[in-house]
Amino acid sequence: MEPSIHSISEEEGSLPGLAERLMTIRQMLATLDTLTVAGQRHLMSKVVAFVSGHVERVMRQAGRGNRHMLLEQLTLLKRESDRQLPSPSAFSDRADSLIALLTTGM
């Protein structure tokens, strides 16, 4: 089954649900370089929005250093997606790093 953006925008559930949605994002990121520029931008904006929401939740419980690291990674991810011609590989690498931080629970 093809990963769907709808599967990551549903109501937040338990940790296994979050892990499944993060896995879906990773699968979608793997296809990023096969999309048109418009498709890449659309997918990047969806990933940034989804990850931003989870970063905000994790930051409430994270220590000062971890909060700084999360914000820095999120800023770099947003900056890449906002570039005139974003690099799919750079965006995917940054998103994977941020997802790894989120899945460890900081």
Total Cβ atoms within 10 A of residue 47: 25
* Banded pLDDT at 105 (limits 50, 70, 90): low
Question: What pLDDT is recorded for position 102?
Answer: 82
Contact (CB, 8 A) for 88 and 81: no
Domain that holds residue 14: 5-103
pLDDT exceeds cutoff 80 at 35: yes
pLDDT exceeds cutoff 60 at 12: no
Question: Which one has a higher pLDDT value, 56 or 89?
Answer: 89
- As for how many domains the chain has, the answer is 1
pLDDT exceeds cutoff 80 at 64: yes
Question: Which one has a higher pLDDT value, 5 or 38?
Answer: 38
Total Cβ atoms within 10 A of residue 29: 22
